Structure 1
Amino acid sequence: MKTLSKFATTVAILSALTGCASTGGIDATTATNTAVNTIGTATNIGTAVFQTAVNQKCQSEIKSNQYYKLASLAMTSEQQTKITESVCGCVSEKAPQSVSLTDMATAAIDSTACTQIVTKAVSNTLQACVSEFVK
């Protein structure tokens, strides 16, 4: 019974986070279906949806950064894509470790909190991932 309750809670969080993941233009239904097909547990699905939202925010942050804009003038579009995918892939991997389960539950209830929590996760991990990539 406890497992069923935990599963139901996780599904509720996943449903709410789907709205969070869709803020950057990616179809939330497609992202959720992909996650369901590739990840076996409800907890991992919630994490995958969170990571999608983090990836979208990361891409936006990098592309609006003045140093990236300047550096990108000397790069091909393939190089720009490789850099943003590498750095944001790292950020997406590390982001779930930078937020608590309480934050995840809050994000599920409050869309404003979701935006703030995703922003916090990106801020907490972006610099570390850029440093790893530059080495």
Structure 2
Amino acid sequence: MKKILLFVAPMALLLSACVTGGGTSVGTNTTAAEGMTQQLGMTALKIAIDAKCVSEMNKMPAWQVASKVMSSSQQQSVQSSTCGCVSDQAPQSVTVMDLANAALDPNARVTLAHQVIQKTVTSCMAQALKS
């Protein structure tokens, strides 16, 4: 049921963007639809990043060592801060085409999330550990 909802909701938003564009110019409607697709792609990507980030961190040897000297609340705080940072840096790590694919294709979303996490998690973890 959740998988169906994850597919139907973005599609409904995409279709409603086409219907409610409101402009008479084709260029205006196309731009609005592209903007909506980009927003959907970024939202889908952030959800995928949030879901995968903690599991990716737990696999990292540096995190395994650092987390041994932390309480569980400290670990959760650093993980939350790190994954938030990764989500915030995602727009700089992806193209518009990647976002469009992420909005429509769950496999592309997972692959893109993995790539973004790999590129940014180390620097974000370093920032979170400093604070």
Normalized against structure 2, the TM-score is what?
A: 0.65
The alignment's C-alpha RMSD in Å is 2.3
- What amino acid does structure 1 have at the position aligned with 2:108? A
5+ long unaligned stretches in structure 1: 14-42
2:101 to 99, 106, 109: 106
Q: Determine whether 1:48 maps to 2:43.
A: yes
What amino acid does structure 2 have at the position aligned with 1:101?
V
Aligned length: 105
Aligned match for 2:70, one of 65, 71, 75: 75
Displacement, 1:69?
2.8
Cα drift, residue 82 of structure 1: 0.5
Q: Deviations over 1:34-84 (max 9, x none)?
A: xxxxxxxxx545423322221222111112323323332332111011000
Residue 132 of structure 1 aligns to which amino acid in structure 2? Q
The higher relative CO (CA closer than 8 Å, separation ≥ 6) is in 2
CA distance in 2, matches of 1:114, 1:50: 6
CA distance in 1, matches of 2:53, 2:124: 11
How far apart, in 2, do the equivalents of 1:85 and 1:117 lie?
A: 20
1:5 aligns with 2:21: no
Alignment-mate amino acid for residue 94 of structure 1: Q
Query: What is the distance in 1 between the residues matched to 2:106 and 2:66?
Result: 34
Distance 2:104 2:35 in 1: 12
Q: 1:87 aligns with which of 82, 91, 103?
A: 82
Percent of pairs identical after alignment?
A: 32
Q: Which runs of 5+ in 2 are unaligned?
A: 1-24
Match of 1:21 in 2: none
More displaced stretch, 92-101 vs 63-72: 63-72
Offset at residue 133 of structure 1 (A): 2.6
Larger radius of gyration: 2
